[in-house]
Amino acid sequence: MKKTRISESQIVSAIKQHESGKSTSDICRELGVHQATFYTWKKKYSGMDSQELRRMKELEEENRRLKQMYADLALDHKILKDVLSKKF
């Protein structure tokens, strides 16, 4: 997935501008994004402030690390199980 050049704080700011009455087309023109992208952001980040956004990113990172740890342990478990099940 392509990394965006627009930060999450800019996205939250754009959503707040939209909620205060600024038109979607003006916001999208300023940011250089398509309206569909803006509405995707709105669906994902609506109602968040910067602290909640930061916390969500931390939780996503922690979730990613935990999934990786689980995958590693599951692989180790499978290898050990295969080794122990073989008859010498």
Question: pLDDT digit string (tens) for 11-66?
Answer: 888 999 999 999 999 999 999 999 999 999 999 888 777 788 888 889 999 999 99
Which residue is listed with tokens 């930060």? 7
More confident residue, 61 or 8: 61
Query: Assign residue 44 a region: left if phi > 0, alpha if psi is -120 to 50, beta otherwise?
Result: alpha
Say what the pLDDT of residue 28 is. 94
Say what the pLDDT of residue 2 is. 59
Query: Assign residue 47 a region: left if phi > 0, alpha if psi is -120 to 50, beta otherwise?
Result: left
